[in-house]
Structure formats: C-alpha cells, structure tokens
C-alpha cells in the first residue's frame, strides 16, 4: 500500500529503540519517514512511538477491527500534540482479507478491501 510512496520500505527492520517496527522507511539522514504496526498494538506502545520518534507517518494495520471505540480511547489517552492530523492512520481491512489475498500477487489493493481512519 505504501511502497510507491516509500520505495525503501523495510519489513521488521531493527532500530536501537525500545520498539521495533513491522514496516519502516528511513530517509538519507536516518530519520523515520514511515512506521507501520500490524496486528495487536497497545496504546502505551503507540503513545511511546509517537512521543519518542519524529515519525512522519504512523500506521496501524488491523483486520475486521471495531475502530470507533479504539479511536476514542486513543484520542482520550494520547494528546493531540503527538497525533497531529494526517500523521497517524488506522487502516482496517475487511474480515475476509486473508481469503481475498491468499492465492495471488496483489499489485493494487481495491478500496473496497479497507477503510482509512485519521486519528
């Protein structure tokens, strides 16, 4: 989804930080351009990443998740200072995304397969 925007995107790259990203893109100065987390991710971890890195885009990837209550919890627990508009996204895939993608290479992800939420 983000490889065109971040062609140097890495999977499970190692950083010398408290947490390691599932997806990462760095610029030439080793500044974090993109940090992606897949699956379960605590609000504590999310808050730490947003507070202690200057990540330009932070994305949580979920599948069939009840996003509305999670959004409220994030907004209640992480001050807006650390989640300016456009910097923090949740991408919630449809429940059957595994079946939709199991037997083929996906070059373009149809918009019907996910929803995007700006935190």
CATH code of residue 32: 3.10.640.10
Q: Looking at residue 27, what is its pLDDT?
A: 95
CA distance 27 to 32: 7
Q: What angle do CA 41, 50, 4 make, to 5 degrees?
A: 80
Q: Looking at residue 110, what is its pLDDT?
A: 92
Question: What is the reported pTM?
Answer: 0.91
Parent domain of 83: 10-118
Q: Looking at residue 6, what is its pLDDT?
A: 96
DSSP state of 111: G
Indicate if the pLDDT at residue 88 is higher than 90: yes
Binning pLDDT at 50, 70 and 90, where does residue 108 land?
Answer: confident
In a domain, 2, yes or no: no
CA distance 105 to 19: 30
In a domain, 4, yes or no: no
For residues 94-107, one letter each, b for 16 or more C-beta atoms within 10 angstroms of the residue's C-beta and e for the rest, the string is: eeebeebeeeeeee
Q: Looking at residue 55, what is its pLDDT?
A: 94
Sign of CA dihedral 85, 23, 117, 7: positive
C-alpha count within 13 angstroms, C-beta hemisphere, residue 9: 14
In a domain, 43, yes or no: yes
Segment 24-31 mean pLDDT: 95
How many Cβ atoms sit within 10 Å of the Cβ of residue 50?
A: 22
In the numeric block, the tokens 């429940």 are attached to 95
Binning pLDDT at 50, 70 and 90, where does residue 40 land?
Answer: confident
* Domain count within the chain: 1
């Amino acid at each position: 989804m983000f490889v065109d925007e971040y062609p140097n995107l890495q999977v499970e790259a190692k950083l010398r930080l408290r947490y390691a990203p599932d997806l990462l893109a760095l610029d030439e100065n080793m500044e974090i351009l993109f940090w992606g987390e897949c699956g379960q991710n605590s609000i504590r971890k999310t808050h730490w990443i947003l507070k202690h890195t200057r990540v330009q885009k932070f994305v949580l990837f979920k599948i069939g998740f009840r996003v509305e209550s999670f959004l409220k919890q994030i907004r209640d627990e992480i001050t807006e200072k650390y989640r300016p508009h456009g910097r923090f996204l949740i991408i919630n895939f449809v429940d059957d995304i595994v079946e939709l993608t199991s037997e083929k290479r996906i070059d373009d992800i149809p918009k019907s397969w996910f929803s995007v939420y700006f935190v």
